[in-house]
């Protein structure tokens, strides 16, 4: 069995982003036994390649093909993130309307309500409260569960399994198979319920589309819910945590934000640039030779976009390693680019803004509990977060 992609032990962070980026915008390396990848670390190169017609997905490859059964792959991987047009276009179109800026803005009052309840929980916990556990995690999870239509009693199970599915390096293949199997079983159970008794949620709407013709197959529906749930669980958590951490680490920037709250949207963009939630995109594949930055990419090569160095490319942004919420244009590719550009970006941005605004308003003296240690980053290749963030109120 080859070492699956996500089971690469060291994180990119540990391998030294700066070192890699210094070697040039396109790096060839073998991340784990026998699987060579082209790692793109330059901003301009990433933008060009992510929009290039010969940079595509392949259903033949992926992080977990080696140990999942064919049936499990069908249920978890037939979603828009892993397919090419025309399937990509068809699948994305089915949910686009639910994620437009206008539709997402309508969720604002409810997101504020959820955040406020969670802040009450932090106040009750007192000094030493872990912001990840009590705030950054439950906020996006509750929001995505409500939007999709996952009943409250299943949220904890989703949380547990989704964490295993996304943090594959910390788990054995058996644990991964079990977790994804459990998620799929639960999704299928919920689809059956919503088919019988539709509610005003995304799951019911999609179940109706599946029954309405050949626009959405059973596998695609299960995979779509799997994708929305995991994308909605694991990324925005890091946006909120990394944002709080960056602001606490830079008191001058926090003071500026408190004095000039209109800077909030720019502050969220700067967090996405400076310490974004994902280290990499999922792999893409070169379909026909491409010449770029003096390199020739060959058909069949695996491309991975290293979003953290891409967003700190000194050729694109001045003083890239400085956290500066006053940048007029905090250009970044934290949400990807091209046809797979993040569908949930308006939702993630809104949640990030509400979270930072309400948290710092509620606790004017918020500061890090001095544990004397660097924050622990999650292991693995994909996510860029902080595992716990204890604070003093
Ligand atoms: C795609 C980042 C939140 C749903 C992506 C991609 C990135 C990304 C980089 C493209 C990956 C690639 O090209 O391989 C983020 C970040 C988030 C976030 C940084 C939080 C700050 C969300 C949320 C949702 C979501 C809340 C809601 C369900 C999706 C979907 C795709 C996607 C459905 C696939 C789009 C497609 O293939 O057309 N995201 N995401 N994301 N994201 Fe997000």
Mean pLDDT of the 228-252 span: 92
Q: Which residue has a Cα nearest atom 12 of ligand 1?
A: 281
Q: Which residue has a Cα nearest atom 2 of ligand 1?
A: 335
- pLDDT cut 90: percent of the chain above it: 58
Question: How far apart, in whole angstroms, are the C-alpha atoms of residue 79 and residue 263?
Answer: 36
pLDDT at 5: 35
pLDDT of residue 169 exceeding 90, the answer is no
Mean pLDDT of the 142-153 span: 89
343 alpha carbon to ligand 1 midpoint, in Å? 6
**Residues with Cβ < 8 Å from 272, sequence gap 6 or more?**
239, 311, 330, 332, 334, 335
Mean pLDDT of the 7-15 span: 48
Residue with tokens 């694991």: 234
Residue 333 in tokens: 């590719």
Give the CA-trace dihedral at 67, 381, 243, 22, to 10 degrees: -160
pLDDT of residue 244 exceeding 70, the answer is yes
CB distance 393 to 19 below 8 Å: no
- By most ligand atoms within 8 Å of CB, the mutation choice from 83, 88, 231 for ligand 1 is 231
Q: Where are the beta strands (DSSP E) in the chain?
A: 26-32, 35-40, 55-56, 129-130, 284-286, 290-292, 295-297, 302-305, 367-368, 390-392
- pLDDT cut 70: percent of the chain above it: 87
Q: Span 62-281+335-392: which CATH code?
A: 1.10.630.10
pLDDT of residue 334 exceeding 60, the answer is yes
Mean pLDDT of the 237-260 span: 96
pLDDT at 69: 65
- By most ligand atoms within 8 Å of CB, the mutation choice from 335, 354, 383 for ligand 1 is 335
pLDDT at 8: 40
pLDDT of residue 203 exceeding 80, the answer is yes
127 alpha carbon to ligand 1 midpoint, in Å? 34
pLDDT at 15: 54
pLDDT of residue 7 exceeding 60, the answer is no
Q: Is 311 exposed, middle or buried (0-12, 13-18, 19+ CB in 10 A)?
A: buried
Domain positions in the chain: 62-281+335-392
pLDDT band per the 50, 70, 90 thresholds, residue 339:
very high
pLDDT at 6: 34
Mean pLDDT of the 13-33 span: 73
Mean pLDDT of the 118-139 span: 95
Mean pLDDT of the 288-307 span: 94
Q: Which residue has a Cα nearest atom 41 of ligand 1?
A: 344
125 alpha carbon to ligand 1 midpoint, in Å? 32
pLDDT at 9: 41
Mean pLDDT score of the chain: 86
- Tell which atom from ligand 1 comes closest to the C-alpha of 283: 14
pLDDT of residue 14 exceeding 70, the answer is no
CB distance 166 to 383 below 8 Å: yes
What is the SS3 assignment for 350?
Answer: helix
- Ligand 1 shell residues, CB under 6 Å: 80-81, 92, 144, 227-228, 231-232, 235-236, 239, 276-278, 281-282, 334-336, 339-340, 342-344, 347-348
**Over the stretch 69-125, which tens digit does the pLDDT of each residue have?**
666 666 677 889 989 999 999 999 989 888 888 889 899 999 999 999 999 999 999
Mean pLDDT of the 2-17 span: 45
pLDDT of residue 63 exceeding 50, the answer is no
ipTM score assigned to the predicted complex: 0.99
pTM (2 d.p.): 0.92
pLDDT at 154: 85
Going 341 to 95 to 191 to 217, the CA torsion angle's sign is negative
120-129, 131-140, 150-159, 274-283: segment of lowest average pLDDT: 150-159
Number of H helices, E strands in the chain: 18, 10
């Amino acid at each position: 069995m080859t070492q699956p992609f996500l089971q690469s032990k060291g994180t990119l962070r540990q391998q030294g982003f700066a070192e890699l980026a210094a070697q040039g915008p396109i790096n060839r390396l073998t991340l784990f036994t026998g699987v060579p990848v082209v790692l793109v670390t330059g901003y301009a190169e990433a933008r060009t390649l992510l929009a290039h017609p010969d940079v595509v997905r392949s259903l033949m490859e992926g992080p977990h093909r080696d140990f999942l059964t064919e049936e499990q792959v069908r249920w978890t991987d037939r979603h828009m993130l892993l397919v090419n047009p025309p399937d990509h276009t068809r699948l994305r179109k089915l949910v686009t309307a639910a994620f437009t800026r206008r539709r997402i803005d309508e969720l604002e009052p409810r997101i504020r309500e959820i955040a406020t309840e969670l802040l009450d929980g932090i106040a009750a916990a007192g000094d030493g409260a872990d912001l990840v556990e009590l705030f950054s995690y439950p906020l996006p999870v509750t929001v995505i569960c409500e939007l999709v239509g996952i009943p409250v009693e299943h949220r904890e199970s989703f949380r547990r399994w989704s964490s295993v599915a996304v943090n594959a390096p910390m788990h054995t293949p058996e644990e991964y198979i079990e977790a994804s199997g459990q998620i799929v079983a639960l999704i299928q159970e919920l689809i059956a319920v919503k088919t019988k008794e539709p509610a005003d949620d995304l799951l019911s709407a999609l179940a109706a589309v599946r029954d309405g013709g050949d626009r959405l197959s059973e596998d695609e529906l299960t995979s779509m819910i799997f994708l929305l749930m995991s994308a909605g669980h694991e990324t925005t958590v890091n946006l909120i945590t990394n944002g709080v951490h960056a602001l606490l680490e830079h008191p001058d920037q926090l003071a500026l934000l408190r004095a000039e709250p209109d800077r909030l949207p720019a502050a969220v963009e700067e967090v996405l640039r400076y310490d974004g939630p994902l280290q990499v995109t999922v792999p893409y594949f070169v379909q026909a030779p491409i010449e770029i930055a003096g390199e020739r990419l060959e058909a069949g090569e695996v491309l991975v976009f290293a979003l953290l160095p891409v967003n700190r490319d000194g050729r694109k942004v001045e003083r890239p390693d400085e956290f500066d919420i006053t940048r007029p244009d905090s250009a970044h590719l934290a949400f990807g680019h091209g046809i797979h550009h993040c569908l949930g970006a308006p939702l993630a941005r809104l949640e990030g803004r509400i979270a930072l605004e309400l948290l710092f308003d509620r606790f004017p003296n918020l500061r890090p509990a001095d544990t004397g240690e660097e924050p622990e980053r999650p292991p693995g290749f994909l996510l860029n977060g902080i595992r716990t963030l204890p604070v003093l109120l």
